[in-house]
Chain A
């Protein structure tokens, strides 16, 4: 008989039919270390979602959307607070670069991130206690002077406080908030919301706001030198609150106002006279805000006169649409030639002409007027919204350039102390609230580095996840949840009624559920389910809690193919021969803490085991087999 006399060597004695403990068991498949079949290894490596990347504060948007999706609002709120101290403000007024960048736009419609942020912000605003307060470090004795209590100054003070620094904010106006109060109308951002957000910050302790102090220009008042000598560092975030003047005939008539000044007086609750027939000169968001406020206060009509054509207007689309609904009229590609006034100097009309927007080689606006097209329109108020500046003559000349504060890539002003930083509009010119918030955050980080004698370092390169690398087959199409609005007829009669309303809880959850978590593991379990070899391990459905059984995974990469978010990627096995390569298993998991990166001790141990095993397999077994202890 054929098998008589056969024997199987000890090292090849296998259980019947190769039946072994499954790969899910600790010793599973040790007998069959087929991991060395691999040419490519699946590796979890989170990328940066485009929303995070576009947000100047770097909000971890996919993370808080995930929290909202799971009804974990406090966690979501705390996630925002890591980067942005005032989500109730940005949730109302941010021009949402995140939504503009959102990959979902290529799928159907971008996520309503701002509205979810507002939902979380208002959730946090209604908490009795500020949840971060109990975890703040004690004050370290150092104090930073901040000029301006706008978003940049407040954000800087906030982030400094989280690092243990005290700050004193000098505010020229009688109340804090900067342009949030003096530039943004209350129907965008109600005063009480702003008050609460500021109170939340000052309630942390260590943040003092001194109102009515205009640094530099008050005789006998605070000067830059006071700040430099009296404080450990300085952050200049004084914004641009002076409207650019338009030098035309009749421009000094009664009834001609700067739009910024108009918005400021309105915002501060002072009486402002505005007529029933208002012209607003300018083509940006300030013009839109001013026109809409004028409609509300004067009860009449407002027309936006702009060099820009309809398509060129620099007004964010939803504001433009809302302005139209409220009856604001547009006269694009026109210029103000002169103002007509009566004998007492009151505005009665304006002469306009056709014009086009053009710029010189420095980017300055140079209107191209069509001669002979002048005509007259009646009006009683003219609001000028053609840009803004700041008075900077109290700063050393070396600090300024072309009307702005000069700063290096870290926002640091060329000063011998190396501890004067700047941010926001005064550094970058007219820009978004969220830009200022981001500048404040970065300034706090860098001030801390300077004051603790660490070198300043630029942000590392990030890999932004493009839509094309998602497995979009996994995301069913779902329309964006519309943001509720107050009807135009109601809202245009009041300066106080909010235009944009909040998502309900259900709406916020539904909208958060649309997030595709671009490039960041969201614990969907696909890899775990599709692996034909049971080589994907998990102990919980969360990012960082999956691992690859490298001694058994054959590198078929089905998991990579079927990863909806693209956080799984294939890495050539040879890369793992480089000890310093980017993608060793121990660094391959989520790069930050929290829901998307917590690693259970179990998972960590698995990775360590896998690496140890991998290392052993490289040193023993010359025939290429792995180790089977």
Chain B
């Protein structure tokens, strides 16, 4: 692991310590009352509860559905005296993310979020925030990009920010939303990483459908997620300059450092996922959920909420004798190249479910398969065939029958020894 040196050039002494975030008495009472209970809540509420448990200092909001309910819940917490945080209602997403950036730069644990065109409206800030190494968290509940106006979920909004230097991953259930929010903060704020995080959930399929979420004790959260300490906060007592203008040749080393940080994050993700399991008792795969892949001949690669249907489809197809499995990606950035290679080793054909739009790309389908196929191409030994399926666009469900259709296409590819095409538009082909 490369070391990120944070003290070079700074004059002397340690950065000023900020007072640890203090919970309100009502907040402590509320959370203590809930410790150990399981409550039914949707993905938005789960995200809000995670932010409450993380005791965020600054929340910046701008409404757009479906993520709005996260901010609604947080506003209610503040109104009820359960959470003591600055809540900034910005004039648009660009300002919203800028304010969160500023707060994070000053050493505050900052929380923000958006959906659909809100995500793209604030696009400028993504590289700025990650390049400045400010580990704020952004909750995204997916929504199809305009036009026309479509509330339905599609992963394109978050996926098109994938190269902006943020940690990026989908949660498939409200419980996973809750857990991933805490895990992401712990990874992003780790001084070996210092990167912002996008914790994404499918709009409606996850954000608005309730599931049981286990509420931890405050102590569990605090032992897993210590108070945020930015090593170089903006503080008038010890001035530093963030984001200076540089000479052209000074850019590449900084960019290389960012690339290194992404790779360094891989190890920290493993570490924090394991640590989370120890503290909370829920064990997540580090990067790839392998479902019935051991003897699989064909495999679906998927991320997000549709994996729940996919799992059922795999079971049904297995019952019918099809040797199929599922690989669910928990993180897209950093991309788990080697973990995915290992998960798919021995599989003969892989189909990536694209719940997104990558117009005019190499596959003429979606975005996700490009990373997957690159990872597969780098595999030692025999490589599986790879194709992708455009499904669940515009917020449509991906029903069991479509997974079965995909399995058929993959079986065909295995039989023929080649794929018919790089991307299938499910529902539009025979």
* A associates with B: yes
> From A18, which residue of chain B is reached at the shortest CB distance?
B244
Chain A residues with CB under 8 Å of B244's CB are 18, 20, 29, 31-32
| CB atoms of A20 and B9 under 8 A apart | yes
| CB atoms of A17 and B245 under 8 A apart | no
| CB atoms of B250 and A19 under 8 A apart | no
CB distance from B251 to the nearest CB of A (A): 9
Chain A residues with CB under 8 Å of B252's CB are 12
Chain B residues with CB under 8 Å of A27's CB are 11
| Bound Cα distance from A133 to B239, whole angstroms | 49
| CB atoms of B246 and A32 under 8 A apart | yes
| CB atoms of A23 and B5 under 8 A apart | no
Of A2-10, A105-113, A325-333, A384-392, which binds chain B?
A: A2-10
| Bound Cα distance from A25 to B132, whole angstroms | 20
| Bound Cα distance from A24 to B260, whole angstroms | 31
Residue in B240, B249, B253 whose CB lies within 8 Å of A19:
B240
CB distance from A628 to the nearest CB of B (A): 10
Chain B residues with CB under 8 Å of A1's CB are 263, 337
| CB atoms of A32 and B259 under 8 A apart | no
| CB atoms of A21 and B241 under 8 A apart | yes
| CB atoms of A3 and B11 under 8 A apart | no
| CB atoms of A6 and B239 under 8 A apart | no
B232 within 8 A of A: yes
| Known contacts A23-B241, A34-B245; A15/B253 CB under 8 A | no
Chain B residues with CB under 8 Å of A402's CB are none
| CB atoms of B241 and A28 under 8 A apart | yes
CB distance from B11 to the nearest CB of A (A): 6
Contact residues, A515-537 vs B (CB, 8 A): 533-534
> From B337, which residue of chain A is reached at the shortest CB distance?
A1
Chain B residues with CB under 8 Å of A3's CB are 2, 256, 259-260, 263
Residue in B7, B250, B256, B259 whose CB lies within 8 Å of A18:
B250
B72 within 8 A of A: no
Residue in A23, A533, A625 whose CB lies within 8 Å of B247:
A625
| Bound Cα distance from A363 to B240, whole angstroms | 72
CB distance from B248 to the nearest CB of A (A): 10
User: For B8, B241, B253, B259, which residue has the most chain A Cβ atoms within 10 angstroms?
Assistant: B241
CB distance from A612 to the nearest CB of B (A): 21
A406 within 8 A of B: no
Interface contacts (Cβ under 8 Å), in number, total 101
CB distance from B62 to the nearest CB of A (A): 26
CB distance from A243 to the nearest CB of B (A): 73
A138 within 8 A of B: no
Contact residues, A541-570 vs B (CB, 8 A): 554
A14 within 8 A of B: yes
| Known contacts A14-B250, A16-B6; A6/B241 CB under 8 A | no
| CB atoms of A19 and B232 under 8 A apart | yes
Chain B residues with CB under 8 Å of A17's CB are 131-133, 232, 242-243, 254
B194 within 8 A of A: yes
| CB atoms of A18 and B239 under 8 A apart | no
| Bound Cα distance from A13 to B6, whole angstroms | 11
| CB atoms of A2 and B259 under 8 A apart | yes
CB distance from A69 to the nearest CB of B (A): 30
CB distance from B67 to the nearest CB of A (A): 28
A479 within 8 A of B: no
| Bound Cα distance from A37 to B257, whole angstroms | 25
| CB atoms of B239 and A13 under 8 A apart | no
User: For A8, A13, A18, which residue has the most chain B Cβ atoms within 10 angstroms?
Assistant: A18
| Bound Cα distance from A6 to B252, whole angstroms | 12
A22 within 8 A of B: yes
CB distance from A147 to the nearest CB of B (A): 66
| CB atoms of B245 and A6 under 8 A apart | no
Chain A residues with CB under 8 Å of B7's CB are 15
CB distance from A139 to the nearest CB of B (A): 56
B308 within 8 A of A: no
| Bound Cα distance from A1 to B256, whole angstroms | 13
| Bound Cα distance from A418 to B11, whole angstroms | 65
| CB atoms of A16 and B133 under 8 A apart | yes
CB distance from B236 to the nearest CB of A (A): 10
B39 within 8 A of A: no
Contact residues, B183-237 vs A (CB, 8 A): 194, 231-232
Chain A residues with CB under 8 Å of B246's CB are 18, 32, 34
| Bound Cα distance from A581 to B190, whole angstroms | 55
| CB atoms of B240 and A32 under 8 A apart | no
Chain B residues with CB under 8 Å of A20's CB are 9-10, 240-241, 244
| CB atoms of B8 and A554 under 8 A apart | no
| Bound Cα distance from A19 to B244, whole angstroms | 7
| CB atoms of B11 and A21 under 8 A apart | yes
Interface string of B305-338 (1 = CB under 8 A from A): 0000000000000000000000000000000010
| Bound Cα distance from A291 to B5, whole angstroms | 88
Chain A residues with CB under 8 Å of B2's CB are 3
Chain A residues with CB under 8 Å of B260's CB are 3, 6
B362 within 8 A of A: no
| CB atoms of A22 and B250 under 8 A apart | no
B22 within 8 A of A: no
B4 within 8 A of A: yes
| CB atoms of A12 and B133 under 8 A apart | no
| Bound Cα distance from A390 to B184, whole angstroms | 98
> From A534, which residue of chain B is reached at the shortest CB distance?
B241
| Bound Cα distance from A28 to B9, whole angstroms | 9
Residue in A25, A37, A533 whose CB lies within 8 Å of B11:
A25
Interface string of A86-118 (1 = CB under 8 A from B): 000000000000000000000000000000000
| Bound Cα distance from A12 to B257, whole angstroms | 12
CB distance from A95 to the nearest CB of B (A): 53
Residue in B11, B194, B243 whose CB lies within 8 Å of A16:
B194
CB distance from B16 to the nearest CB of A (A): 15
| Bound Cα distance from A27 to B245, whole angstroms | 16
| Bound Cα distance from A34 to B4, whole angstroms | 25
| Known contacts A34-B246, A625-B247; A29/B8 CB under 8 A | no
| Known contacts A20-B241, A32-B244, A32-B247; A14/B263 CB under 8 A | no
CB distance from A338 to the nearest CB of B (A): 86
Chain B residues with CB under 8 Å of A37's CB are 245
| Bound Cα distance from A386 to B221, whole angstroms | 100
Chain B residues with CB under 8 Å of A534's CB are 241
Chain B residues with CB under 8 Å of A625's CB are 247
| CB atoms of B253 and A14 under 8 A apart | yes
| Known contacts A3-B2, A3-B259, A12-B250; A18/B10 CB under 8 A | no
| Known contacts A3-B2, A34-B245, A533-B245; A24/B263 CB under 8 A | no
| CB atoms of B5 and A22 under 8 A apart | no
CB distance from A356 to the nearest CB of B (A): 71
> From B338, which residue of chain A is reached at the shortest CB distance?
A1
> From B260, which residue of chain A is reached at the shortest CB distance?
A3
| CB atoms of A15 and B6 under 8 A apart | yes
Chain A residues with CB under 8 Å of B263's CB are 1-3
User: For B7, B133, B254, which residue has the most chain A Cβ atoms within 10 angstroms?
Assistant: B254
CB distance from B126 to the nearest CB of A (A): 15
| Bound Cα distance from A14 to B239, whole angstroms | 18
Besides A15-B7, A32-B245, 9 more A-B contacts (Cβ < 8 Å) are: A3-B2, A3-B263, A12-B252, A17-B232, A17-B254, A19-B240, A19-B241, A31-B250, A554-B245
Contacts A/B (CB < 8 Å), 20 sampled: A3-B2, A3-B260, A12-B249, A12-B250, A15-B5, A15-B10, A16-B133, A17-B133, A17-B243, A18-B243, A19-B10, A20-B240, A21-B9, A21-B240, A23-B241, A25-B11, A27-B11, A28-B241, A29-B244, A32-B246
7 A-B pairs with least C-beta separation: A22-B241, A15-B8, A17-B133, A19-B232, A12-B253, A22-B239, A15-B9
Report A's interface with B, CB cutoff 8 A.
Answer: 1-3, 6, 8, 12-25, 27-29, 31-34, 37, 533-534, 554, 625
